[in-house]
Homo-oligomer: A and B are copies of this chain.
Amino acid sequence: MPSPKDLQQSGLKVTMPRMKILEVFERHRESHLTADDVYRILVTDGLDIGLATVYRALTQFEQAGLLQKQNFESGKAVFELNRGDHHDHLVCLQCDRVVEFCDPEIEKKQAEIADKLGFRIQAHDLCLYADCIDQGCPHRPTQTVLSNLPR
């Protein structure tokens, strides 16, 4: 349930299009959506919101820290709700399923490496591309499976 506060705090006016777009992400907490995905969902919902507005909102929301943006190999950017936690992604090469994970050891090692090279790390992208081992891999559109790795 997106609250108007989320927008106000970012200096963005509370408008219908923006609230509806946030709602879409609330209703799809497990997904990684492209601008077009969001646009289609809105259209399906019978809402008349332009694609350009979606793009503008996504950009603003990302800057405001409400959303996180990812660039997988697909060429299109995908967005997900910023749940505060940082995590990396594993994309299934069979069905495009996205599994999230986070490994503190890797995170630590990254900082050490940057440090050793004379840099202060600001961000990173880590994405694994892999094949399902188990049989039951449905060839379906993008879908997310949350997963917390033992630490």
Contact = CB atoms under 8 A, between A and B. Distances in A.
Given A121-B128, A126-B124, A105 B109 contact: yes
Nearest to A100: B117
A131 B113 contact: no
Contact of A125 (B101, B110, B117, B125): B125
Contact of A129 (B106, B117, B121, B127): B121
The copy count of this chain in the complex is 2
A130 B114 contact: yes
Given A113-B101, A134-B118, A126 B126 contact: yes
Nearest to A128: B124
Contacts of A149: 113, 116-117
A125 B127 CA distance: 5
A71 B72 CA distance: 8
A90 interface: yes
Interface of A: 71, 73, 90, 92-93, 99, 101, 103, 105-106, 109-110, 113-114, 116-134, 147, 149-150
8 contacts: A73-B125, A101-B113, A101-B117, A103-B113, A118-B133, A119-B130, A119-B132, A125-B125
